[in-house]
Structure 1
Amino acid sequence: MGQAGGRWKVGTVLFILVVCCVIIGIVVWQTTKTKNKTPDQQSSAGQQTQSSQSFNLGILNISTKDLSLRVRKQENYVLVGQLGIGEQSGSFENCSDNYGGDSICLVWKNDTRLHIQRKREQETECFTITWEVLTCVDHVLQDCFEVGKAHWYGGYEDWYQYWPFEKTTRNLSAYITNDSYQKGIGGVQERYFFSTQGVVIYVEEDVPLYLSFNASADGNICLVSKYEKYPFQNAQKKLPQLKYHVCVDQNVKTIHEYASKRFIQRPTGIPDPKLFRYPIWSTWAQYHKDINQSIVLDYAKNILDYGFPHSQIEIDDDWTPKYGDMDFNTAKFPDPKEMINELTDLGFRVTVWLHPFFNIDSQAFTEAKTNKYLIRQLDSEIPALVSWWDGDAAGILDTSNEEAIEWYLNKTDYLRQTYNISSFKFDAGETAWLPNAYSSANSLDVPNIYTKKWAELAYRSDPDIRHQEVRVGFKSQNLPIFVRMLDKDTNWDYTNGLKTLIPTALTLEYSFSIVPWQFDEETINITRNFLELHENYTDLIIDLANQSTTTGAPIIRPLWWIDPEDEDAQVIDSEFLLGDTILVAPILDDGARQRDIYLPKGKWMDMLYNNVTDGPQWLTGYPADLHELPYFKIVT
């Protein structure tokens, strides 16, 4: 079995150190024969060149003086960057014959090679930029690009979720899935960044990627490739490479449509339509761990007595005897079969909370340890213990081990067959829960594969009805399941509060935690009214979800989706589109009863005041009471 980690042999270490210290590199330039070349820019293969030169590759220009890169669209530069930070410029050879046309090649004294390959598809021009280290595994590769005047989108779920993305500040961080509560790069992420200049940057998944964004207010997005003991362990002693794609199209929408089709898988279907239509009712925020059989039954009866709809009821944290044992704690749930039968008779589907952790006092830990189903200590058969929010010493499921996944899924089947559990809420799954040094059944040199495998496990637990949920995502857009946002805090600002809700909207799946009947009658009535409003548009939402399986277009869309060149629409983070026809502008400020609303181009029917307004324009001081939601429909 493969292992993540490993030891250097002394001879190998000495050899590589000697090679890294004494090797003399040769710089190799390669460029296509374009009309933009002048004779002094060309050199034959094998010829060493010392002078500063500038090379053109379609709309891309690179200077050998400082390795600056510029990409232009018409007369404007849409991307400016600095390649090979820390590398040496100077003499090089042209090696055009090695790569054929439409490419640039360069090899440095410290034995790094740069290759840029051009590809054009209709109106889109793309460049695959690849740095390769030829000898030293400790070499660090770094390219940086100016944020500039463009607005940027994409990236990852964040505690401070700003829209557009350039409002974010992040020091150099490993690009792995983290718990957003730890202020790291979040658990839902893609190596995908695009701008209003019609530019996209997409980094390959096997790059040991570190990212900084506007660190120390430098105005740059930096991509760094390097192997370290954690999190990119490099058990196979691969040489680092930094490979990414830069593509340019007409505007932010056209480049997103092109790049998402090329780099991101389409969903293979949609989740259970009932989840689009009705809310999930969770026990967590209302009761935390203080749940038992009578509380769950009372909870369900109250939902019905107060006249609220439901898709399912979710039994959250602390329903098991020990964390990791996937069965009911009979001290709290003396007759779980009868409880679930009663809930089913009331019209509820019942889901339970699951996670990848096995506390050492659980029976499942012993079973998993015996069968090597857990992440292990480095070069050892002993499980590596981790701490998590419900335990200081726990094993964690090895998702690289197919036998471990089958064992886990068998336990979910037991819950279905024994108790009529309908589906599951899968918690955690972020790479950051792994120990700093470990071994696994198969290589996790790409740590985010752990997250991807956890999401795939979740899908496999309920592949037919598909009413499970996860909280993580990495290259798992093909899975037709709901991804829930990390729990939001009760505040009105950008510190994981209300104003981050629209920027982090990934789906329209939503759940109730604090129950409305904890408040006054007005709150109950407002909640009912908004649930009814949501239900009125569920058919549209489901239709948009089905469309996304072929078009890739999101259900919830930014305002620039219908007018990509509109500079106001490019920066608005407090409104959203439902498809192309409905604009929603909720009030997000504490105590406010009015707000400014921007309408992009088109004729918009005001659904509160029943009048038509032409866009683009601002509606200043638009009034809306607590029970009212400002929203507009496009008039065709």
Structure 2
Amino acid sequence: MKNFIILLIFFVSNIYSQNNYDTLEVKIESNTNWWAGIIIEGHKMPLEDGYEANLFGTSYFNQLQPLLISSEGELVWSEEPFSFKITNENILFDKAYASLDYIKAGDNLREAYLYASSKYFPPSGKMPPDLFFSVPQYNTWIELTYDQNQKDILEYARSIIDKGMPPGIIMIDDNWQEDYGKWNFHQGRFPDPHSMMKELKELGFKVMLWVCPFVSPDSDVYRELEKQGAFMLDEKEKPAMVRWWNGVSAVLDLTKSEGDKWFKGQLDKLINEYGVNGFKLDAGDSRFYKGIKSSKKITPNQHTELFAKVGLEYPFNEYRATWKMGGQPLVQRLHDKSHDWTDLRKLIPQMLLEGIMGYPFSCPDMIGGGQFTSFLNDSPIDQELVVRSTQVHALMPMMQFSVAPWRILDEKHFKAVLEAVDLRGEFKNIILGLAKDASLTGEPIVRSMEYVFPHKGYSKIKDQFMLGNDILIAPLLSKGIGSRKVVLPKGKWKSDMEKIYRGGVNIDIEVPLNRLPYFIKLN
């Protein structure tokens, strides 16, 4: 049995209330690489000299985990936020709101991660419903943005089927509702939501609705909840007004039963009355909780954690911003990406980071980009980018469409998209098997080269990845090139073109528009 070297730094005072800080210095040994649980920064990892971060009161617009792990089996964990800075020689930790643990848990990245997973965020034994993994998801955001309406949602769903794509989960995004906090279908835009839901179900879709923890202050719901004391408060003990991307709103205090029970009651009502299957739970970012007060004194990060725990009661869920929810059956989506090649190249390293931070049930944003401003005012569409984005998604844990590919692509490019969707169908049982394994063991579904083949010089490879331990996937991530280099580890590999390769070499391959290169390791 391995001997674990554990350094625990304890202190007895109430950290949050008294602002005492814990500190730690970890020496960076030669040829050691480190990763931190800041998912949106995954493309910047392994960490380099000069990198610094403060985890308090932020989600970095995506998932966070208070964990750093190294290629030599080391890890640092804290139950609460901390700051750290990287130099060429060490990592300096301070401003910790709880004790910092440094542990030499093994000899490589995988051993460090599995130790952290088992000790700090053990897998729950549960996973999101199979449908998240077996077929694409469809989100109405890019097509409709703030004009969510019954007519166009049904047209979008019918077109999915008519164009030869499989039904799956359809997510109706922001502005289906009457107002923030008034979680009823807007009567003007949804004249008959029951019939809409009925048709969507008959077409084969499960339906999720966008929700958030905000309540518009000029609504009757706000006035009633204010009387109940359900809101976060400002310094004058009045409901705090929080500015977010859609204006200024009050925010529910989920540390109080009045806020928590009311919100879940609204979600349950939508399920019971309309047959909604679940929810896209957005806007729980820690930054919205800074400088305001709740009934129970907790950190802004813990408020994000409370909002994420709501999703545990609804198997069909999706989150963009969470804190310390590793090992749980929550769908975690990457932050919105722009419609460009730079953001496309961020998908693989950020998804790989999700896996080693305890978030295996993850989705690489929306195909072609989820940043809706990229598609406004007749913005130019890069058809090749949409195809290559689809191919990156195809063998990830999940794939999600939003912009309608049949609308923006010509026949050749749309055919390549359909082929990538079909390829996922061929691999869906493998992906499902890995997802079920992740729910029991914590092992990532998609894995970095360093994770599977430690100490081979693969730490900085960010343009190829492993599906499990035996399938290497190497999408094309640059425009107009048509070829790429693939790093093949030692062993015997069979490509998607049925060609056999001896590993331990770098190979150059041709990648036409309709090809997603992959290599299966042979025994």
Q: TM-score normalised to the size of structure 1?
A: 0.71
Residue of structure 2 in register with 1:386 after alignment: 242
1:504-555 Cα distance to aligned partner (Å, 9 max, x none): 2142223111111121111221111101101111111111111122221110
1:199-239 Cα distance to aligned partner (Å, 9 max, x none): 2122x214x5223345xxx664321126xxxxxxxxxxxxx
Shift of 1:367: 2.2
Amino acid at match of 1:222: L
Residue of structure 1 in register with 2:74 after alignment: 199
Change (3 A) 1:630 1:400: same
Shift of 1:260: 2.1
Residue of structure 2 in register with 1:155 after alignment: 37
Larger relative CO (CA 8 A, sep 6+): 1 or 2?
A: 2
Amino acid at match of 1:597: V
Distance 1:590 1:571 in 2: 21
2:347 to 498, 501, 504: 501
Distance 2:48 2:419 in 1: 35
Matched, 1:586 2:475: yes
2:439 to 534, 549, 563: 549
Residue of structure 1 in register with 2:506 after alignment: 618
Change (3 A) 1:385 1:435: farther
Matched, 1:338 2:192: no
Counterpart mapping for 1:405-554 below 5 A:
405-436=260-291, 438-444=292-298, 446-460=299-313, 462=314, 466-493=315-342, 497-505=343-351, 506=354, 507=362, 508-518=397-407, 519-554=409-444
Distance 2:227 2:335 in 1: 34
Amino acid at match of 1:524: F
8 A Cα contact 1:470 1:482, kept in partner: yes
Counterpart mapping for 1:204-283 below 5 A:
204-206=78-80, 209-214=82-87, 220-225=90-95, 242-283=99-140
Change (3 A) 1:176 1:134: closer
Bigger drift between 542-551 and 249-258 goes to 249-258
Greater Rg, structure 1 or structure 2? 1
Distance 2:184 2:10 in 1: 50
Residue of structure 1 in register with 2:145 after alignment: 288
Distance 1:487 1:449 in 2: 23
Distance 2:119 2:98 in 1: 21
8 A Cα contact 2:495 2:518, kept in partner: yes
Shift of 1:257: 2.1
Distance 2:423 2:120 in 1: 36
Shift of 1:447: 2.6
Shift of 1:173: 2.4
1:576-631 Cα distance to aligned partner (Å, 9 max, x none): 111111000001112221111001122111112x1221222111x31111110110
Shift of 1:255: 2.5
8 A Cα contact 1:188 1:472, kept in partner: yes
Change (3 A) 1:172 1:278: closer
Unmatched segments (≥5 aa) in structure 1: 1-120, 181-186, 227-239
Residue of structure 1 in register with 2:252 after alignment: 397
Unmatched segments (≥5 aa) in structure 2: 355-361, 363-396
Distance 1:252 1:270 in 2: 24
Shift of 1:304: 1.0
Shift of 1:132: 6.6
8 A Cα contact 1:123 1:250, kept in partner: no
> Alignment RMSD, CA only?
2.3
1:35-68 Cα distance to aligned partner (Å, 9 max, x none): xxxxxxxxxxxxxxxxxxxxxxxxxxxxxxxxxx
Shift of 1:328: 0.9
Shift of 1:129: 2.8
**Percent identity for Structure 1 against Structure 2:** 27
Change (3 A) 1:364 1:267: same
1:182-205 Cα distance to aligned partner (Å, 9 max, x none): xxxxx3111111112222122x21
Residue of structure 1 in register with 2:54 after alignment: 173
8 A Cα contact 1:198 1:251, kept in partner: yes
Q: Secondary structure in 2 aligned to 1:200?
A: strand
Amino acid at match of 1:544: L
Number of residue pairs the alignment of both structures matches: 477
Shift of 1:271: 0.8
8 A Cα contact 1:276 1:542, kept in partner: yes
Amino acid at match of 1:195: S
Change (3 A) 1:359 1:147: farther
Shift of 1:147: 4.0
Amino acid at match of 2:494: M
Q: Secondary structure in 1 aligned to 2:311?
A: helix
Distance 1:375 1:138 in 2: 21
Amino acid at match of 2:233: R
Distance 2:99 2:461 in 1: 33
1:239-290 Cα distance to aligned partner (Å, 9 max, x none): x764323324222222222232122221331111011011111110122112
Higher helix share: 2
Change (3 A) 1:417 1:577: same
Q: Secondary structure in 2 aligned to 1:337?
A: helix
Change (3 A) 1:371 1:168: farther
Shift of 1:138: 5.9
Matched, 1:123 2:34: no
Distance 1:536 1:278 in 2: 11
Change (3 A) 1:583 1:163: farther
Distance 2:494 2:145 in 1: 43
Change (3 A) 1:378 1:484: same
8 A Cα contact 1:482 1:509, kept in partner: no
8 A Cα contact 1:284 1:317, kept in partner: yes
Change (3 A) 1:134 1:271: closer
Matched, 1:309 2:166: yes
Distance 2:83 2:443 in 1: 28
1:629 to 513, 516, 520: 516
Distance 2:257 2:341 in 1: 44
Amino acid at match of 2:287: A
8 A Cα contact 1:127 1:246, kept in partner: yes
